[in-house]
Amino acid sequence: MSTPALIAGLSVLGVVVVVLLLPILIACLIRFKNHFFTWGRYTLDEDLSGKLAVVTGATAGLGLEISRELARRGAHLVWGARNMNKAGKLKEAFEVEYPGCQIDILKLDLTSLSSAGKFAADVAAKFESAGVDLLFCNAGMGTKDETARTDDGYEIHFGVNYLAHFVIIDRLMKTLLKSST
């Protein structure tokens, strides 16, 4: 069999597989949605009252939407924020939109590993007895400036999007493992 015929045969086989198996896959996902789509141990509609959720990047984008959903479900939120004024205004808006929600705002600048470490230490100290139930390392940044560096000298994307969150996770690991979940 020639190479073009083989490629054509594989293309037809691929289309057949997609046409036959895709509806089956979709049906399975719909049938078992609560099994597949969960947040760790939390189903999509679970009440999170009494749970502590730490969110980085909570003042915009996906972090803001995650925070809205967590507040709607009753979780106690801890936001790591670089811009404390913006976070404070958002907290006031959340308190109107979600009466009774609890939000703590702690300073976090992901361009500094020492700031990330201090943030994690502050969270661990403040909530040591309860433990952290949920941790959303969502904050990130993008720039076309290839020369941009963190305070510690790392390339900005690597430092902010990976290293700083690694420091937070590493320092909060005992508190995460202590939680009741």
Residue 22 confidence (pLDDT) above 80: no
Partners of 155 in the beta sheet? 149
Whole-number mean pLDDT of the chain? Answer: 83
Look at 57 and 146; give whichever has higher pLDDT: 57
Q: For residue 104, what are the β-bridge partners?
A: 78
Q: How far apart are CA 54 and CA 78, in angstroms?
A: 5
Q: Which helix (H) or strand (E) holds 81?
A: strand 76-81
In this structure, CATH architecture of domain 40-178: 3-Layer(aba) Sandwich (3.40)
User: What's the mean pLDDT in 148-173?
Assistant: 92
Q: Where are the domains of the chain?
A: 3-33, 40-178
Residue 81: its pLDDT value, please? 95
**Predicted local distance difference test score (pLDDT) of residue 117:** 96
CA distance 39 to 46: 10
**Per residue in 74-99, pLDDT tens?**
999 999 999 999 999 999 999 999 99
Whether residue 15 has pLDDT greater than 70? no
> Residue 78's beta-bridge partner residues?
54, 104
**Spatial CA neighbour of 58 closest among 176, 138, 156:** 138
Please report which helix (H) or strand (E) contains residue 104, including its range. Answer: strand 103-107
pLDDT (tens digit per residue) in 43-75: 567 888 989 999 999 999 999 999 999 999 999
Query: Kindly report the CA angle at 147 between 141 and 150, in degrees rounded to 5?
Result: 55
* Alpha-carbon 105 to chain mean position: 17
d(CA 122, CA 81): 13
Whether 129 has a pLDDT exceeding 90, the answer reads: no
Position 153, amino acid: G
What is the average per-residue pLDDT within 93-116? 96
